[in-house]
Amino acid sequence: MPGGCLNTADSRPFVFFLSSVLLVSLVFFCNFMARLILPPFLVPVEREFALSHGQAGGLLLLMSLGISFSLLLSGVVSSWLTHSRTIVLSSLGVGITLLLLPRAGGTHELQILLVLMGLAVGLYLPSGVSTITSILPSRHWGKGLAVHEMAPNLSFILAPALAAGVEGVFTWREVFSGLGAASVIVSLVFIVWGQGGNFTGDAPGPALIRNILSRSQFWLLAFLFAAAVGTTFGIYSMLPLYLVEVHGLSSAWANKVLSLSRVPCLIMAWGSGLLVDRIGARPTIWGALTISGSMTILIGSLSGPGLHIAVLLQPLSAVCFFPAAFAAISSIFDFRVRNVAISFIVPVAVVLGTGLIPSGLGWFGDAGHFRLGFAIWGVICVSGAFLVSLLRIPEGDVRI
């Protein structure tokens, strides 16, 4: 039963499966750290390679293009291999590129390696989710996926905290090498002890793809996802550089602020699911985009304590978007096409939110208008929130 669970009648408690779930989540953690570790080190990388702010943001765009292309092909790869082997391929690829990145001698080598790392990163998610659900009885899926989702939330905290903690002790090259070695070791551990995912995935056919891409709801959700990703990863990516260049903070202090801003998100990620159940998917999406967009405007407008408060509150509201949006997708798209819809919505959001937004903010920074760039993106998010009313969520499925 591809993508499903073979032991639905299993009565064993969740704790029995926890070690297997944690091992898959550890692979996801290394995967996500790889895509988040560059932004906290953009200041030294920019100086070492003599890059402008726009070129620095362009590095993130290249990685996001690799991730998006790989996500689109992930179904094909997992249909050739199994999901578990796809996870190993992704993890080893991430580890090897992280080991090679510190040896980049020029900008072109750095750009090529970041594209390759994006390709490796993007293979993971569809196979990771399929593997988690194959390990667990269906009654434990929610708990298992919640544990799995702790990986990106922890990464958002630990990546800038690591950069702040090693400043003056280790260079970015040494940090990347260490993370690469860790990813390779985790890959080998998963090969020996990993459970689940021993089946192939389904490659989407042309007719199904055309059916999804022709629906206006797909493009609306893709835009909303891009806006949400832009207010999370996009702002995260350029915020340390902005705080250093515009507000005169040290790199260590900027990364500490960034790390602290993500700590409450661990709790909010759990609570946001309850919020969706209480008020519904559409109001939650609207509120998340409106509040996070408003906080982004304030980041571009304020200084001193007000700026720090806006930085702390901005991701807290943005994290509420994703459970609500996935609930909306589950209602709008039939279960037979749901996974394919997600596999196309996410790449669009990745290119816009994690690629074009950082690049755009960098271009504003080069022009001496870093503040204006943040404010404009905040206005776009707040304006886009009003498109939520166009979501056609079937009656009775608003609260999921």
Torsion of CA 280, 285, 290, 292, to 10 degrees: 120
| Angstrom distance (rounded) from CA 218 to CA 209 | 11
- Amino acid letter at 217? Q
369 Cβ partners below 8 Å, 6+ apart? none
- Mean pLDDT, consecutive 10-residue stretches, the chain (400 aa), reads 47 78 90 88 86 82 86 82 90 95 88 93 83 75 70 84 84 93 94 85 74 84 87 83 87 84 76 68 86 92 89 82 74 65 79 81 87 91 86 56
The pLDDT, as a whole number, for residue 184 is 95
| Angstrom distance (rounded) from CA 148 to CA 136 | 12
Q: Please, what's the b/e burial string for 302-319 (b: 16 or more CB within 10 A of its CB; e: otherwise)?
A: beeeebbebbbbbbbbbb
| Angstrom distance (rounded) from CA 121 to CA 94 | 6
Q: Tens of pLDDT along 184-215?
A: 999 999 999 988 878 776 667 787 778 788 88
The pLDDT, as a whole number, for residue 372 is 92
95 class by beta-carbon count within 10 Å (0-12 exposed, 13-18 middle, 19+ buried): buried
The pLDDT, as a whole number, for residue 5 is 45
The pLDDT, as a whole number, for residue 159 is 87
| Angstrom distance (rounded) from CA 22 to CA 284 | 29
Total-model pTM: 0.75
Look at domain 14-203 and name its CATH class: mainly alpha
DSSP 44-93: HHHHHTT--HHHHHHHHHHHHHHHHHHHHHHHHHHHHS-HHHHHHHHHHH
CATH code, 206-400: 1.20.1250.20
Residues of the chain with CATH 1.20.1250.20: 14-203, 206-400
Tokens of 390: 């166009």
| Integer angstrom CA distances of residue 37 from 40, 42, 140, 195 | 6, 9, 32, 28
